Structure 1
């Protein structure tokens, strides 16, 4: 089968487009013919050997796919050959076929295209879990989203608006902020040209943000936290900036605030019933037109390394998707 191959850990430019043997499935797996695979920040870490899980070499990156079931393990009872599914494979998705554990597969509702399904779980799944389960976001509260024009950030903007919050989007260009406004941001901050801390205070009448969604990290995290409201919740989603910030612990004490970790991948494994319920709710929102993924760019399989480079350079608006079939 054709695949993007990581033969040694490194940058996207070290990946090659070539052939790998078809995956073999065990009794609790299904084999999926991949139609589309989402492009996600963890993919950029996996190819460098920096993620929580390190696959054996050689492998294909790509952790979020949609496609059709073409083979079943003998213990798989809930799916049939020909079923349309979306799946969390972890890696292996930038290929024509991928083997996935049956407990990481979800039936794809009719009417949802493969490219939408393959770009929903990581971004909307993460953001919905963060805002609903970890941040306990309430209608009428103020939500501040850092890195708001990226995949998870834009999903947080859209979901926050849907949940009744006043959403302040923070990004690095007017083009990105305009996209955030289209998705429902009430106010915006360009942190390349505006002072983040003072602008947050100004936009919240000195009260600060009730919930801060941070998938970026780096040197903007501390000024954002210094602008959090009393009893605010600071959601640590990721470190796209590449720098893990150090927050002085007197700040949560003085603010009566919480620093809350958001690890959606682990949540989806350890709390499968609750995670599945969230995914069903998201699929319902998509079918009803309440949320709509913004696909920044579509890539053929052989251009997947370019998609990862765009992600690493933080130039991707919304979500990228690799179309395999």
Structure 2
């Protein structure tokens, strides 16, 4: 079969190579899945660079999230078992972690559901306890992770402020349903948030960016507000001033969604049932901005790494299995 392989760490466009490899063999408790669509996540770029918290042995195939098909014809979503990631024609996945793909979503949308929306739901509800009527600020609101948080915030009845970079992404954020859109390239984020909230600030801030985004968040978080740290797409990991959190009376909380698989695995299935219901009602729909040909996967991973994309890029295999 064909698979994208990484033999050395570096930038995705430089180290990913399309090669012929053996079809994987499932072990005990695993399933063989034919890949119908593979969503590209920022961790795929970090895997290529050797900067992710998981470092699979070389060579490996990136792709941490797919919509696949079981040998008995069921359409499912799964996280492939590394080093055999989803940018391939076939993968293996742990049977106990495979979930049914929502009927309301096509293959590309289903491939983009699992990680982003589970992270959003756990971050906003389990960690931050977002309430109806509160103000939610989402950084990188037009991106894959941010767009999921925007939709989930609206579904929860929150007023959503989206922060983006550039006019094109601002238009995307408005289409997603953001009540207020702030262009960080043209606007003063802190002043704009305070103006939009009559000086109160945002009750919940969802930050997958880090760096300057976090610094601005600390200046515009409300009394008893919650900053949810989701990731560091900027590459800059901030060092919070805890005296500032004390004086302003706000909380800083981390969200590592992957831990729930080991600490509370049943919660993932319950969340998926909720997300499936939301999808059926039209409350959420992954923003798939581009369906990418299999041959162009390396370029797509690089574009996600560079932060130039909106929504999700999803790779669709050509079906040329061997």
Q: Deviations over 1:176-223 (max 9, x none)?
A: 111111111110111111111111111111101000000001122112
Matched with 2:44 is 43
Distance in 2 between the 1:118 and 1:184 partners? 22
The answer as to whether partners of 2:102 and 2:279 remain within 8 angstroms in 1 is no
Where does 1:243-262 land on structure 2 (aligned, <5 Å)? 243-262=236-255
Q: Deviations over 1:207-265 (max 9, x none)?
A: 01000000001122112212110110000000000110122111110121110101112
Distance in 2 between the 1:175 and 1:111 partners? 28
The answer as to whether partners of 1:64 and 1:90 remain within 8 angstroms in 2 is no
Residue 273 of structure 1, CA deviation: 0.7
Distance in 1 between the 2:65 and 2:9 partners? 20
Which one is further off, 176-185 or 102-111?
102-111
2:135 to 133, 137, 142: 142
1:197 paired to 2:190: yes
Matched with 2:77 is 86
Q: Secondary structure at the match of 1:47?
A: helix
1:317 paired to 2:310: yes
Distance in 1 between the 2:81 and 2:10 partners? 18
Residue 288 of structure 1, CA deviation: 1.9
The answer as to whether partners of 2:227 and 2:251 remain within 8 angstroms in 1 is yes
Where does 1:5-154 land on structure 2 (aligned, <5 Å)? 5-13=5-13, 14-70=15-71, 81-89=72-80, 91=82, 92-154=85-147
The answer as to whether partners of 1:145 and 1:168 remain within 8 angstroms in 2 is yes
Distance in 2 between the 1:186 and 1:51 partners? 34
1:179 paired to 2:180: no
1:277 paired to 2:278: no
Q: Deviations over 1:61-100 (max 9, x none)?
A: 0011111112xxxxxxxxxx22221101254100000011
1:245/1:272 Cα in 2 relative to 1: closer, same or farther (>3 Å)? same
Distance in 2 between the 1:235 and 1:288 partners? 27
Where does 1:220-259 land on structure 2 (aligned, <5 Å)? 220-259=213-252
Matched with 1:76 is none
Distance in 1 between the 2:164 and 2:289 partners? 16
- Structure 1 portions without partners, runs of 5+: 71-80
Q: Secondary structure at the match of 1:232?
A: strand
Residue 125 of structure 1, CA deviation: 1.3
**Considering only aligned residues, what root-mean-square deviation do their CA atoms show, in Å?**
1.2
What TM-score results when the alignment is normalised by the length of structure 2? 0.95
Residue 137 of structure 1, CA deviation: 0.3
Q: Secondary structure at the match of 2:295?
A: helix
Distance in 2 between the 1:8 and 1:98 partners? 21
Distance in 1 between the 2:213 and 2:223 partners? 19
